[in-house]
Chains A and B, each alone.
Chain A
């Protein structure tokens, strides 16, 4: 049986890759995908620890995270489309109307 620490390590690597993507890329769509990467890495952590402790708490939490992530992607992409209607750019450096 594969040790739990191995799954946690894979999850940490994917989380770091997602975080680097959010910091480095400037297109809003790519940032969305990197946020989904981070959410999935946390899902992997929760399921691995659910097996570690032998109860279903982690798996139920992952179920809730999946539902919330689906809702968040729908609303986030709707916001992006609404913004693109009058701005024609997905570059987050140029989405700065609220900047003081």
Chain B
């Protein structure tokens, strides 16, 4: 039963990933990416990582995809050209991808079949995972005791990234938004 559910969600995730790389319009790619992130969040819940599933939806689906859609809106969503510089580029990429997938698969196929997933037994005999379902309390206990330094450094990293993005996005000195050709045309008539 859980294997059938996993198979359905994994199939949707892989189909969405194929949709990301094969769409003609960038907006379609962004929406396929959103589907992939949502299905991965479902897979995280089945893997005893509930806090990370919520974080995945908040940061990836609710932040990064929105950022990408904003950039598509700013840059103008032109249809990406279908002509390749060389006609065999797509086929070479697919062949290389299959070779890489074969290499990874030979290493990971059935790798952990003989290793048991550790579980603990509660007082009343129920068997639970040692990860306690990945609830925020359990992750927080680990994050704020053993991994406190990386957590604080991540905060500094985000501050630096914020300042960097702010600086890179500024207009050069002396240039006003009305210098943009499109705005000048629309305000002319």
- Residues on A lying within 8 angstroms of B by beta carbon are 1-10, 12-21, 23-27, 29-30, 32-34, 36-37, 40, 43-44, 47-48, 50-56, 59-60, 62-64, 66-75, 77-82, 84-85, 90, 93
B176 CB–A CB distance under 8 Å: no
B184 CB–A CB distance under 8 Å: no
How would residues 155 to 185 of chain B score, 1 for a CB under 8 Å from any chain A CB and 0 otherwise? 0011011101110110110000000000000
How would residues 1 to 18 of chain B score, 1 for a CB under 8 Å from any chain A CB and 0 otherwise? 011001000100110011
User: In the complex, given contacts A12-B105, A44-B44, A51-B117, what are 11 additional A-B residue pairs having Cβ atoms less than 8 angstroms apart?
Assistant: A4-B112, A8-B111, A13-B101, A16-B97, A25-B21, A26-B84, A29-B75, A40-B36, A60-B143, A64-B150, A67-B158
* B139 and A56 within 8 A (CB): yes
* A5 and B164 within 8 A (CB): no
Q: A-side binding surface: helix, strand, loop or mixed?
A: helix
* A2 and B3 within 8 A (CB): yes
* B21 and A60 within 8 A (CB): no
**Contact count band on B:** 35 or more
Q: Nearest CB to that of B21 among chain A residues?
A: A21
Q: A59-B52, A63-B143, A68-B157 are in contact. Are A33 and B33 (CB under 8 A)?
A: yes
- Residues on B lying within 8 angstroms of A by beta carbon are 2-3, 6, 10, 13-14, 17-18, 20-21, 26, 29-30, 33, 36-37, 40, 43-44, 46-49, 51-52, 55-56, 59-60, 63-64, 67-68, 71-72, 74-75, 80-81, 84-85, 89-90, 93-94, 96-98, 100-101, 104-105, 108-113, 115, 117-119, 129-131, 134, 138-139, 142-143, 146-147, 150, 154, 157-158, 160-162, 164-166, 168-169, 171-172
